Structure 1
Amino acid sequence: MKRLALLIFIFIFVSTGCTTTRDYYQSFKGKSEHWSGELIQKGKVEYRDHEKFENHYEMNYKRDESLKLKYIGNEPDLGRTVEYSYDYGSSVREVLEGEPIDVNEVFTSSSSSEGTSHIPKGSDYRPLDNQDTTFEVIIKWNGKEEKIKLKYDGR
């Protein structure tokens, strides 16, 4: 009985192929006169031998991004609308009634993507941006506009 269980295990292991998973993480940070920002990118790639193409991997990848913005200036409030945009999207925070937007609010935006492809063995697919990339975030509030450049911070 033990031999049968061992044979079944070996058969399943060989027929499904070996899978390798790599996790990636990096952070881009920056400050301007009134704002600080951080963009975090996380990625995961899963490789397995391709069933049809010799010397190729079947690859599943996922990429998550999160942008955080914090006001660091000295105004008492941010007005009724804060708008920001960057390479992966834009967002607007607007108060229609009530108090203006609090200077202590942290503004966040996130996105994700995923897919499947195949690549030659020996290739290294990284689902993240190049560490030399600089992201420019444009922020508008109280009739003002400011840009932050987010650069790789070594994490």
Structure 2
Amino acid sequence: MERFAILFVCILLILSGCTTTKEYYQSFKGTSEHWSAELIQEGKVKYRDHEEFENHYEMEFERKHTLKLKYIGNEPHLGRTVEFSYNYGKATQQVLEGDPFDVNEVFTSSSSSEGTTHIPKDSNYKPLDNQDTTFEVIIKWNGKEEKIKLKGE
């Protein structure tokens, strides 16, 4: 039994040595007259030697975007519909019954993607946008529209 445990630990060490995982996180922020916004990007990449191509990695990647919007103006309510769009999607949030949106509401939208591919070993794949990228968010509420430029921190 003891030999089996030692063999199992050795196999785990060998297998874990063949896989490298890198995690990424970055934030883009901006404000306008009535809104503040933050776009959070998170990613994870797992590399392991490709079984068929000698100078390649087999790569699994995950990528997630989360947009958070907060009203910073001084109107008493936001109406019954708030729409927003940005590079990775758009959303419409509506109040179907009851009072209009509270001005303290935080609006959140998320999207994600994942996949598997192979890349040359000398490549450095990052599942996130360049930190110098500028995003534009368009928000519509109460018959008004504003644009916010988000920049990396």
TM-score past 0.5 threshold: yes
Q: Which amino acid aligns with 1:69?
A: L
Instruction: Determine the structure 2 residue equivalent to 1:101.
Output: 101
Alignment pair present for 1:46 and 2:46? yes
Q: Which amino acid aligns with 2:39?
A: L
Task: Please list, as runs of the form range in 1=range in 2, the aligned pairs for 1:2-151 lying within 5 A after superposition.
Answer: 6=6, 10=10, 14=14, 18-151=18-151
Inter-CA distance 102–126: structure 2 relative to 1 (3 Å threshold): same
TM-score, normalised relative to structure 2: 0.91
Unaligned 5+ runs, structure 2: none
Distance 1:77 1:103 in 2: 5
Q: Deviations over 1:43-102 (max 9, x none)?
A: 000000000000110000001111100000000000111110111111111123321111
Number of equivalent positions: 153
Give yes or no for contact 1:41–1:128 (8 Å, CA) kept in 2.
yes
List, as ranges, runs of 4+ consecutive aligned residues in structure 1 with deviation greater than 4 Å: 1-17
Distance 1:62 1:84 in 2: 24
SS at match of 2:67: strand
Inter-CA distance 2–71: structure 2 relative to 1 (3 Å threshold): same
Give how far 1:35 is off: 0.2
Give yes or no for contact 1:47–1:57 (8 Å, CA) kept in 2.
yes
Inter-CA distance 78–55: structure 2 relative to 1 (3 Å threshold): same
Distance 1:113 1:3 in 2: 43
Distance 2:45 2:91 in 1: 29
Q: Deviations over 1:7-63 (max 9, x none)?
A: 665566557861100000000000000000000000000000000000110000001
Give yes or no for contact 1:18–1:49 (8 Å, CA) kept in 2.
yes
Q: Which amino acid aligns with 2:34?
A: H
Deviates more, 1:54-63 or 1:92-101: 92-101
Q: Which amino acid aligns with 1:21?
A: T
Percent identity between matched residues is 73
